Amino acid sequence: MAEEEKQPRQFRAEVCKVLHILTNSLYTNREIFLRELISNASDALDKLRYRMNRGESPSHADLPLEIRINLDKDAKTLTIADTGLGMTADELAENLGTIAKSGSEQFLADLASTAGDEDKEKKTEDAANIIGRFGVGFYSVFMVGSKVTVTSRPAFGDENTANVWTSDGLGTYTVEPADDADLQRGTVVKIWLKDDASEFIEKYRVESVIRKHSAFVPFPVFVDDGQVNTQPALWREPKFNITKEQYSAFYKAVTYDSKDPLDVLHFSADAPVQFNALLFTPDDAQEFFGAEKDAWGLDLYASRVLIQHHNQELVPEYLAFLKGVVDTEDLPLNISRETLQENVILRKINQVLVKQTLSHLEKLAKDDEEKYGRFWKLHGRIFKLGYNDFANRERISALLRFNSSAMTDADALTSLDAYMERAPEGQKTFWYIVAPNREAARLNPHMERFRRKGLEVLWLYEPVDEFVMDGLGKYKEWEFKSAEMAGDDALNDFSDKEQPAHEAVAPLSDEEQGSFDNLLAKMKEILGDKVKEVRVSHRLADSPAVLVSPDGGMSSSMEKLLKVMRKDDTLPVKVLEVNRDHPLLRNMLRMFQADADDRMLAHMTQCLFDASLLLDGYLKDPQELAARSRQLLENAAAWYTEVKKI
């Protein structure tokens, strides 16, 4: 090398300023430097392997293709060496002396220009594993290093001597012959660590960075002679070659879950974007509504190198239960791998992932009902949020599962299609009731006429369920409607299948009907502004009373949910409907006819209202209800004692 080539050279493109930006602003996490150096080393090994596959013979052809990292605590140095392609003195100056000059980018350009038309696509595909299409990743080394040397010996060509590139990242560098007889082929990067970067001299710290970012590079990575990346990039392997045990081991390695996954989805896509995906469904329910609400998303890789952990653009929120890996070579990156240049590619991947996942769930629901039932119990709470996905709403609706009045127990589930098959001719509505549990749904007074008509009602136990029903609107031209909102004539077309639990009572005479109307007016007077109206119910068979929303209002469950969201604890003003054929109301009628101002009539009216509030989930003052109930019990006991004396 000429004497002038040993002199310090100035970086191009105002390197002092650019290096300052690169080392202080570009990366938010300094450990990224190690990912970039390993990526460059893997890149060099890929290039060498490609040329060897073309029949070229490198120097020291028996050397293994590997990456070795050595830590020297006394000297405070970190060294990373590869046995890859290597660089000449001119290539060192060209590739490391110019910002945004990428040897990988040039390699691909040369490959495309020299290949014939018939084999250009094949050769480009063979070289697609090369990492680092932008030439700035190397400079992240100056985030942690006060001085860096890059010693390299090319694997091909007449100039088979080693040269060393040296810089402190402050504006100049040198390239000169290296006195390193041990370097047979490849590149060695040696970093003198800054005082505030001493953490990277610790073996455990370096290994943790490799496991996080570079665990799946296609060449062995050793740290002080111990291999770190022992887990293969399973998503790159043909799925028919992979055992269930291998999938489970991989899942546990990347998620730290102690249980095997419930399900696995492994596929490759070529259009509209080329990528590989390995997705898992955990066998435990995931919490996405509390402190961990943002801890979801898939790991995004570019050519086996981690780009972003928990990328939430790859899947919609209703598939947040999925864990796994997406690896693509079509991903455009900006100057930093931490920030994606644009999201067009991700949106296309998202569309394919959604389509593949829904197809997989449809097949699972058809072929393995028991396993799909477990999936629903674990992850249905988040999956049902897919009602917002208008493009896939029909498919998502078919995958929803519910408990219902036709089921034998709380664990049994039905699909909407199965509900439709069981429905009587002429029914075009999915009826539902929102309740905290199955027993509460069964005892809901609004169930009585549906039970009498033999009509199935979906029982919804989650607060979000009614939003789901409102959001879906329809499924196969069937509407979703709350049983609470069923009009008086909504079920007239269906004949009775059951008789009320109480024996039928004689209808009221005209005189009694007039008195009953006056009783309703008296009850409204007693309750005052607490109710909008007191009226006869046409929906009750066994219960004495029920609260209903005013005509055109919303269901009680939706109203409660909105009140919670608005932090409104006031009681809603509803309509109190009473069953005039119930024994309690007939006895209240006799009391009213005897004495319209009887105090016990007022107590009973208030208790009836409180009980209806309790069933509706609105009772604010249970102490008052208890006091009234105690008073009624005392009176009932006294009356009973007097009767027994007679």
What pTM did the predictor assign?
0.78
Order of strands, sheet of 403-404, starting from the edge strand that comes earlier in the sequence: 403-404, 458-460, 429-434, 478-482, 474-475
Name the band, by pLDDT with cuts 50, 70 and 90, for residue 455: very high
Chain position carrying tokens 């979801």: 296
Give the pLDDT confidence score for residue 625 in this predicted structure: 73
What is the C-alpha separation between 231 and 233, in angstroms, rounded? 7
Give the pLDDT confidence score for residue 153 in this predicted structure: 93
- Do the beta carbons of residue 359 and residue 289 sit within 8 Å? no
Q: Which of 290-299, 443-452, 490-499, 530-539 has the lowest mean pLDDT?
A: 290-299
Nearest Cα to Cα of residue 495 among 452, 542, 431, 456 = 452
Give the pLDDT confidence score for residue 133 in this predicted structure: 43
Give the pLDDT confidence score for residue 605 in this predicted structure: 92
Q: Which of 50-64, 339-353, 444-458, 567-581 has the lowest mean pLDDT?
A: 339-353
Q: Which of 61-65, 165-169, 475-479 has the lowest mean pLDDT?
A: 165-169
CATH topology of domain 510-645: Four Helix Bundle (Hemerythrin (Met), subunit A) (1.20.120)
Of the chain, the percentage scoring pLDDT greater than 70 comes to: 84
What is the C-alpha separation between 142 and 194, in angstroms, rounded? 9
The highest-confidence range among 79-83, 108-112, 290-294, 463-467, by mean pLDDT, is 79-83
Give the pLDDT confidence score for residue 15 in this predicted structure: 53
Q: Which of 126-135, 155-164, 388-397, 630-639 has the lowest mean pLDDT?
A: 126-135
Domain boundaries for CATH 3.30.565.10 within the chain: 3-227
DSSP conformational letter for 3: G
Class of domain 3-227: alpha beta
What is the C-alpha separation between 374 and 422, in angstroms, rounded? 23
Look at residue 107 and tell me whether its pLDDT is greater than 60. no
Give the pLDDT confidence score for residue 187 in this predicted structure: 95
Give the pLDDT confidence score for residue 1 in this predicted structure: 46
Average pLDDT, integer, range 50-75: 93
Residue 183 CB contacts under 8 Å (≥ 6 apart), including other chains = 81, 151, 152, 153, 162
> Which residue blocks in 325-404 are alpha helix, DSSP H?
344-367, 369-383, 393-399
Average pLDDT, integer, range 176-191: 88
Across all residues in the chain, what is the average pLDDT? 84
Write out pLDDT tens, residues 614-643: 887 776 777 777 777 787 788 778 777 777
What is 434-503 written as a DSSP string? E-SSHHHHHH-GGGHHHHHHT---EEE-STTHHHHHHHH-EETTEEEEEGGG--TTTTTTS---S--SSP
What phi, psi does 601 have (nearest 5°)?
-65, -40
Name the band, by pLDDT with cuts 50, 70 and 90, for residue 495: confident
Name the band, by pLDDT with cuts 50, 70 and 90, for residue 268: very high
Which amino acid type is present at position 351? Q
Look at residue 405 and tell me whether its pLDDT is greater than 90. yes
Give the pLDDT confidence score for residue 2 in this predicted structure: 46
Second CATH level (architecture) for the domain 234-367: 2-Layer Sandwich (3.30)
Residue 568, both tokens: 């409104």
Give the pLDDT confidence score for residue 641 in this predicted structure: 79
CA-to-CA dists, residue 37 to 46, 129, 167, angstroms = 14, 16, 16
What is the C-alpha separation between 132 and 371, in angstroms, rounded? 43
Domain boundaries for CATH 1.20.120.790 within the chain: 510-645
Burial class (CB in 10 A: 0-12, 13-18, 19+), 277: buried
Residues pairing with 482 in the sheet = 432
Write out pLDDT tens, residues 188-245: 999 999 999 999 999 999 999 999 888 899 899 999 999 999 888 899 999 999 999 9
DSSP conformational letter for 140: G
What is the C-alpha separation between 227 and 220, in angstroms, rounded? 7
The highest-confidence range among 19-28, 36-45, 305-314, by mean pLDDT, is 36-45
What is 575-613 written as a DSSP string? EEEE-TTSHHHHHHHHHHHH-TT-HHHHHHHHHHHHHHH
Give the pLDDT confidence score for residue 387 in this predicted structure: 92
Write out pLDDT tens, residues 501-519: 666 678 888 888 899 999 9
Give the pLDDT confidence score for residue 93 in this predicted structure: 86
Give the pLDDT confidence score for residue 248 in this predicted structure: 95
- Do the beta carbons of residue 531 and residue 524 sit within 8 Å? yes
Average pLDDT, integer, range 389-404: 95
* Angle formed at CA 274 by CA 269 and CA 278, multiple of 5 degrees: 55
Look at residue 80 and tell me whether its pLDDT is greater than 90. yes
Give the pLDDT confidence score for residue 32 in this predicted structure: 84
Residue 164, both tokens: 């060393």
What is the C-alpha separation between 345 and 102, in angstroms, rounded? 22
Average pLDDT, integer, range 91-107: 66
What is the C-alpha separation between 369 and 366, in angstroms, rounded? 6
* CATH number for the domain formed by residue range(s) 402-498: 3.40.50.11260
Q: Which of 48-57, 147-156, 173-182, 391-400 has the lowest mean pLDDT?
A: 173-182
Write out pLDDT tens, residues 117-146: 555 444 444 444 444 444 567 888 888 999
Domain boundaries for CATH 3.30.230.80 within the chain: 234-367
**What is the bridge-based pairing of β-strands 226-227 and 298-302?**
unpaired
Look at residue 53 and tell me whether its pLDDT is greater than 80. yes
Of the chain, the percentage scoring pLDDT greater than 90 comes to: 48
